[in-house]
Structures are given as C-alpha cells and as structure tokens.
Amino acid sequence: MYLQFWEPHRDVDPLIELKGKATYRSHLAFARRDIRNKDNLIFVAISGDRVVGYIEALVKKNDRCFKINRYGWLNSAVTHKDYRRRGIAKALTEKVFEAFEARGIEHVKATVYNSNRIAMRTWRRLGLKPLSTNFIYIVRCKNK
C-alpha cells in the first residue's frame, strides 16, 4: 500500500522525488518511524487477511503567534486499486476525524497535488474545501 501511495506523485514534485527506486524494504523504515511517532494516527482497513487501505494523520503545532495552537494534518491515504469506491477512504477519514476530535483538534488540513484527481474528488466529498495553491519554480543551474 505504501508503494501505491507514491504512484500518483511520481514526476509531479521534484522536492519529493525519491533518490532510489521505491521498494518494500526502503519504505519499511519510513513506516516504522511513522508508527513510533506518538503524534501520528494511523488507521488500516483490512479485508480478510489483506490490507486494503490506510490513512496516516498527525497533529501539527502552529506558530505561537497564531490563535489556533494545534491542528490535524492528513499526511497520506490510499485505498488499494481493487477496493476503491467501496467507502474505505470515507471510513478511514471519519476515524481520523473522530480521533482528532477526541484530542481537541478542531481544524484539519491536507495537501493534494492538482494532478491527483482521485484524491481531490475524495477529499471534497468528505467535506474538505480547497484553500490554496502552491507554486514551484525550478531554477536550471549551469553548474549541474
């Protein structure tokens, strides 16, 4: 599932381009680190003995000058291709919202690439509203 998450991001943002090939082993270390982080919320959907979806969210701290000190962040989510359109993303997201609410978190943000139409549609259906657009400029250095 972790590897499937990266498919729509490939070649979209050079700032998150992986150094090497995405492999099960390389992402296992990332997953272990994320699981150990007490501020992370990870929910997994299972069908039989198969993981068919997951969502990872975390509590972020805002700068002290802002009224809202902490907010929720939807970091990553994916539903296995064979199990999409069955309400799995909705159920996982609702679990995250409940967990945030239990922690006193009232606001939740997510970043989605404009090219990821599935995620854009899913987040909108779940009540998230588009807020901003990020821009990037890539400087072509002669030294490279």
DSSP line for 48-62: TTEEEEEEEEEEEEP
Q: What is the pLDDT of residues 59-68, one digit of tens each?
A: 999 899 999 9
Q: Quick one: average pLDDT of 67-76?
A: 92
Bridge partners of 54?
44, 78
Domains of the chain: residue spans and CATH: 2-125 (3.40.630.30)
Main-chain dihedrals φ then ψ at residue 44, nearest 5 degrees:
-125, 140
* Residue in this structure with the two tokens 């359109």, named with its chain if needed: 85
Q: Quick one: average pLDDT of 82-96?
A: 93
